[in-house]
Amino acid sequence: MDIKLIALDMDGTLLNEKKEISEANRSAIKAAEEKGLHVVISTGRSMATLRDLAKSLSLKSYLVTVNGSEIWDEHGELVHRSIVENDAITWMYDLSKTHKTGYWATSTERVFFNEMPEDLTAYQWLKFGFEIEDDKARETILKELQNRGEFEITNSSLTNLEVNTMGVNKARGIEKVCGLLGITMENVMACGDSMNDMAMIKEAGLGIAMGNAQDTVKEAADWVTLSNDEDGVAEAIKKYVL
């Protein structure tokens, strides 16, 4: 396969359970870059919660953040942004209060956890997330979200729901990066573990699920590597790139 770009999820993929990037993963990424490949972080995290980790890798390519809501270039300049409208954020916030769920909301400036600003309209919003332990409540909320017909709904764990505006996902983010680089999705190897990685894993030329990935993600992938605690990213890069 002619792999020219490696797209890596962060939590549950590149990061181990201690939220660290192992030396094996760092070495494999560096070796891939030395071979001329682009290594692109593609994460549900915002730039604010990603910046230090990304900087520690000294990557020379783009960053896809907030599930594809934002794309940043190698100089830290914003290339693309897709927002969730204020009325939708207000509706989801009310929904979380109705069902007494945990929640978080990502704005262009910061992430709010189980709290919201008094004036929601003072911010531009990128994503809303629900943390729901109760399976029935999660199913009810999922149906209400789906009925609106205006959201891209995924997860980053089995107990949460992540909501972006329709059409925003990691695959579309990586596709935009490919366009900027003059390559196609066929040239991409994508690694991830959760439903918010599903689109890029399915659409990449080579989709790889982590050993710790959700079962549906493993079923959609072309190959399953080791877990995030066993340097699964390094294993995949060694096998298909190095």
The structural domain count of the chain equals 2
- Token pair, residue 115, equals 């709290």
Q: What confidence tens digit (pLDDT) does each residue in 103-132 have?
A: 999 999 999 999 999 999 999 999 999 999
Contact indicator for 187, 178 with CB cutoff of 8 Å: yes
For residues 205 and 233, state if they share a domain: yes
Share of the chain above pLDDT 70, in %: 100
pLDDT recorded at residue 1: 84
Q: What is the CATH number of the domain that holds 49?
A: 3.40.50.1000
- Cβ-based neighbours of 58, under 8 Å, separated by 6 or more: none
Q: Give the predicted TM-score (pTM) of the model.
A: 0.97
For residues 103 and 207, state if they share a domain: no
Among the residues of the chain, which ranges form H helices? 23-34, 47-57, 86-98, 135-148, 170-181, 198-203, 215-220, 232-240
For residues 105 and 123, state if they share a domain: yes
For residues 90 and 68, state if they share a domain: no
Largest interatomic CA distance in the chain: 52
For residues 234 and 174, state if they share a domain: yes
For residues 77 and 181, state if they share a domain: yes
Region 55-67 average pLDDT? 95
For residues 146 and 48, state if they share a domain: no
Out of 122, 145, 165, a domain closes at: 165
Does the pLDDT at position 47 exceed 90?
Answer: yes
Out of 108, 132, 165, a domain closes at: 165
Q: What is the CATH number of the domain that holds 127?
A: 3.30.1240.10
Q: What confidence tens digit (pLDDT) does each residue in 148-173 have?
A: 999 999 999 999 999 999 999 999 99
For residues 70 and 34, state if they share a domain: yes
For residues 93 and 192, state if they share a domain: no
Q: Residue 202's beta-bridge partner residues? A: none
Domain with 115, as residue range(s), is: 86-165
Out of 132, 165, 198, a domain closes at: 165
Catalytic residue at 2? no
For residues 151 and 184, state if they share a domain: no
Task: State residue 126 phi and psi, 5-degree precision.
Answer: -115, -30
For residues 28 and 66, state if they share a domain: yes
For residues 44 and 25, state if they share a domain: yes
Region 187-202 average pLDDT? 98
